[in-house]
Amino acid sequence: MSASLDTLALSPEAQDLLFTGARTANAFTDEPVTDEQLRQVYELVKWGPTSMNNQPLRIVYVRGEGSRERLLPHLGEGNRAKTASAPVVAILAADTSFHEHFPRTFPHFEGARDLFADKLDVRDSVARLNAGLQIGYFILGVRAAGLAAGPMSGFDAEGVRQEFLADTTLQPLVIVNIGHPDHSGTFGRLLRLEHDEVVSEV
């Protein structure tokens, strides 16, 4: 277990599970990931904040017969083997039609949907930013389930969109491999920038 931060409300064990001891997974064991685990990951992370409660993240699990084989050619060569062996693969995408849900998700602003209706460029930017926030929540949710995540941006996004998301309003952002980690595939821990290199005041 890594050294804990003793002023946080989060227990040392939870700090270790979610952050300090968690690693990006490059290899996985054969232990399966259950549908209930995946459902509970979403039920947890859906509570993370987004602008105007817009919730643009869409999760597409690559599970159909032949789907994995269709995905692999669109990945960077270095990402193919680990994706082929991962128990679960998720395409995380931004839905540019998030505004259609505003009557349910942001009901106190009656004009919210119309505000974005004819502004695809704005919706695309807003969706990508907020889905990016939700991707962070998703990775932490996977870790909270006792699983490991291997997020990847090294893929042909347009190829993935055409292959799996054609005729939708979804834009793929990240692909995540999910499972129980095989630590033999874990690289050494890389340096993180120090507080004073990142934090400033104005």
CATH fold for the domain made of 23-181: NADH Oxidase (3.40.109)
Lowest mean pLDDT across 24-28, 68-72, 147-151, 171-175: 24-28
pTM of the entire structure?
A: 0.95
**pLDDT at position 142, please?**
99
**pLDDT at position 188, please?**
84
In the chain, domain spans: 23-181
Q: Round to whole Å and give the CA distance between 165 and 51.
A: 24
Mean pLDDT over all residues of the chain?
A: 96
The string of pLDDT tens digits covering residues 94-110 is 999 999 999 999 999 99
Tell me: pLDDT of 57 over 80.
yes
Report H helices in 46-178: 67-71, 77-85, 102-105, 112-117, 120-144, 157-164
